[in-house]
Each structure stands twice: as structure tokens, then as C-alpha cells.
Chains A and B, each alone.
Chain A
Amino acid sequence: MVGLSTGEKHFIHGGIAQDLRSDGRKRLHFRPISVETGVIPQANGSARVRLGATDVIVSIKAELGKPNSFQPDKGKVAIFIDCSPTAAPEFEGRGGEELSSELSVALERCFLGGKTGTGAGIDLSSLIVVEGKVCWDLYIDGLVISSDGNLLDALAAAIKVALSNTGIPKVNVDLGASPDDQPEVDVSDEEFLQFDTSGVPVVVTLTKVGRHYIVDATLEEESQMSSAVSVSVNRHGHICGLTKRGGAGLDPSVILDMISVAKHVSQNLISVLDSEIAAAEANADE
């Protein structure tokens, strides 16, 4: 992590106060976003999202597993994020572990909803094949290739895109003679079911620098943050998860204000992503 001199910090603060950030954006502008789908052919779904110089890849693999005995009518989803040493030399070895686990936890909180699965962006009951016996386990693996701030939003966007790109093989089940037998499962190689992604939320991180907050902060801007709030919002404008990052305290009314701004910004982001997904799929079809 490169430090900044007092002069540069001052310049960044000033830019945010004057609503003109170092790269010419206003406080609530995102950087140009670009989306590619199907970048990993052997996965069930994958996506690469670039947000300025931030670059992430997400792959989704579906495997057949056994449902948790506490929730026999639901499949399982696991999210792992890996920060590659290509993104920053300090991620080498165990250096990226802390950030990786922080991102994984924040994403699980945003996508998997409460304990009973309400508000989950990924409908776990759609992953069930035979209740109590067979279900799909979704493994969502994210890789940070290059980091220039706002990793969480980029990863969340990549997961959303990858899910829309995910095909889960159709399964024919042959229930055994007795209920105790493990049912026989025949996985089709040709027929795929598209994943329902209408409920998948996006994450908007508002970073507070000085007295103002900005979206899509670059690494330099993030180094100046006093605190940040990551809000995940779905298409209906409902909040599906929230994490506060950074240590400094915030007035509760400011948090509520940030939530409403995030809700507003998220709807733009969702429509941008929708059109990018459509464009990317059109590209892939060519």
C-alpha cells in the first residue's frame, strides 16, 4: 500500500468537498464498468468485472451434495474470495488472508440473507433436488486480479453477473425402492436450467471522506476514508445486508441518509449491470 503525502491527501479531501474527484468524477459517479461472461469454460458460470483498474473474476461451480440436517429443504452456497498476489505484493503468502476473509464474510452476509434464508439473493430452496437427500452445493469463488479500490462492489457485481451466466444441469432422479436408499441421480450434460437472478442484490459501498461520502472509491480515496457503509440492495429497493467498515463513528441519522442514497444509486447500478449483462451475452453468442 503506497502512502500519500499530506499534500496529496489534502488534494483528495478538497476534490471530494468540491464534488470533483481526482479522475473528474462527481461524488456519486461510478467508474466505467465492463463485464465479460463465460470466462472460465469449465465452471457452471463465470464472469469478469472491471471497474476502472479494479479487476475481479468470479466462477460458480455446482456440485451435488447432501443438505444440512437442520435445513433439509435447502441447498448450500459457499463464497470464497482469494486475493491474488498479482493484485498487490502484500497479498503474497498469508498477507491477503485477512482481506479475503473479510470480503467473503461481507458477501455471504449480503447474498445469503438471514438464518432462515429470508432476504437471500440466492434462493436456496431452488437448489434442492430431493428433499433431505440430494441438493446442489454452489461454490462461488472470487479472485481479485487487480485492486484499485471498491473490491466489494466489484465482487458483488461479478457474482450477480456470474449467476445470470450459470446453468445448472438438469437432474433426473430415480427414487430408490425404500425411503432409506440414497436416490440415484442422473445428471444431464445437455440440458441446463437457468438460474433465477431477479432477486440477486447489488452492493453499493459509500465511503466517507471528510464530511462527505462517495461511491466507488479508488484505492487512494479508500486510504483516506474515516468509515464506510456497504449496503446490499435488491431490485425492489429492500436492504438485504449491511456492513460498516472503517473505525470512525457515524451519527445514526447519517447512516440512514447513506442507506437511502445507496438505495437510489443501486437502482442505477442494477440497470447498468442489466444492460452490460445483455451486451456481454450478445458478445458471447457471436
Chain B
Amino acid sequence: MATNPATYSPSQSLERRQQQQRRKIFLQADWTRTDGRSFHQCRPAFMRTGASNAASGSAYAEFGGTKVIVSVFGPRESKKAMMYSDTGRLNCNVSYTTFSTPTRGQGSDHKEYSSMLHKALEGAIILETFPKTTVDVFALVLESGGSDLPVIISCASLALADAGIMMYDLVSSVSVSCFGNNLVIDPTAEEEACQDGSLMIACMPARYEVTQLTLTGEWSTAKINEAMELCLDACLKLANIMRSCLKEIAS
């Protein structure tokens, strides 16, 4: 077993065929989503805090086929030697399990998501409350079923709240995919693979502020307006779910 021979997944070719079929479907103006949702309907969200006892705070989130666990450690002594600073540091890391995707992956760190998660949370955390120390936010994607980053962001802010880190507001995040003229909210992995464009928003609903926004594909201003409204509305609803989840453990 020292050197593993080259292997391949038997379902690869099947997937490829399915994806091509799906792309044809998405070109039509009218199609139904595989999970039966309407275009502007999010997947049912399940969130719980206290997923791991070793951490200062943790949360588990399950949105359809996307399952994420986030642990928060600290505030604790920084590992990196630091200059004098009167604010704390936030350190984020996102990694995937090898079995999170249909074909077995490498299970490595996801640098891009790590830095995006950092930016989405940074503005919500009151860093001045833990000077000279670091709060570590580690996310592990158990299963990737689409809209991974928004789920990670929402789950991480729940874990931060669970850890008792001072925040201005919870951060909830939702993305939309664009197919021709259609906007599809909270896309699954299959939908994301064929999208024309995407827009993701992370926001602090109570303050009505956007902490992170990314956009790919070609968009007109009117379309951006529409997509942002859709996302912000969904973020608001998601934040209510997160709030009630936090209240549940408190009572």
C-alpha cells in the first residue's frame, strides 16, 4: 500500500453525461429544479450549536446536501509573533473532507474560501474586545452539495455566537445563480456547475450592512439590483432561523 495505483471513480462518465443533459435543460426558460423547489425558494436549513465539545464554540449546518461543521477556538494566545496591537486577530481556515465531493478529492485546505470567510466575518466581530489574542475559526465541509461558502459563513457566525465572541451582528449569507434570465436562489452543486453567473452576499441583517459580496459572469445593473434584493431578503430569513436556534439553547 506504499504507492497507491492510479484509480478512477466509476461514476465519472455518468456524471459528465448528466451534466451535459442538465445544461441543455437550463437553457430553456422554464425548467424545474431537481429537488422540486421554486426558483426563489431556499433549501430547508438545519442548524445546531455545540457540535464539538473541545471548542469554545461550534455549530453544525445542513442545507440540503451541504453539511458543514465549524469550531471556534479562543480568544487565545497568538501562535504567530505579533507586533503590539490593541485589536485581536481573526484566523479562518476552511477545509474539505476527501469524501465531500462525488469524486474523491484531496481533502485539502481551501485557501480562497478561507480568505473569503475571513472577510465576511471580520466586519462583524468586535476585534477590540480581545486585544493581542487570536480567535480561530475552523470550518470542515463534510459534504459539498452546493452554495458551500454561504453555508460556511452562516454556520461560522453561529459558532462565533456560541463561543461568546462579541459581535455587532450575526452574519448570514446566501447566493444566487443566474441562468439566462432566471435567477435561482441557494443553488445546488449541479446547478452551480452550469450557471452563467453567480452573486453571493454575506450581510449583517440587523444593521442592514453587506460584509462580503462577490459576483461572476456578466450582469446589468438592474439584474444586480434584483439579485441583491433576493439575497438580502433570504439573508434576513436565514438570520431569523439562526436567532431562534441560539435562543433555543439559551432557554
Contacts and interface: CB of A to CB of B under 8 A. Distances in A.
Given A114-B178, A239-B221, A246 B119 contact: yes
Interface residues of B, number: 43
B62 interface: no
A249 B203 contact: yes
Nearest to B195: A115
Interface residues on A, range: 35 or more
Contacts of B247: none
A240 B218 contact: yes
B207 to A, nearest CB: 6
A260 interface: yes
Given A252-B228, A256-B228, A259-B224, A244 B214 contact: yes
Nearest to A118: B196
B216 A252 contact: no
Given A246-B119, A256-B224, A241 B210 contact: no
B64 interface: no
B196 A114 contact: yes
Contact of A119 (B16, B209, B219, B228): B219
A223 interface: no
Interface stretch (A7-15, A74-82, A98-106, A209-217): A98-106
B210 A244 contact: yes
A243 B119 CA distance: 11
Interface in B24-65: none
Interface of B: 16, 19, 23, 111-112, 115, 118-119, 121-124, 168, 178, 192-199, 203-204, 207-221, 224-225, 228, 232
Interface of A: 69-70, 98, 101-102, 105, 109, 112-116, 118-119, 227, 229, 234, 238-252, 255-256, 259-260, 263
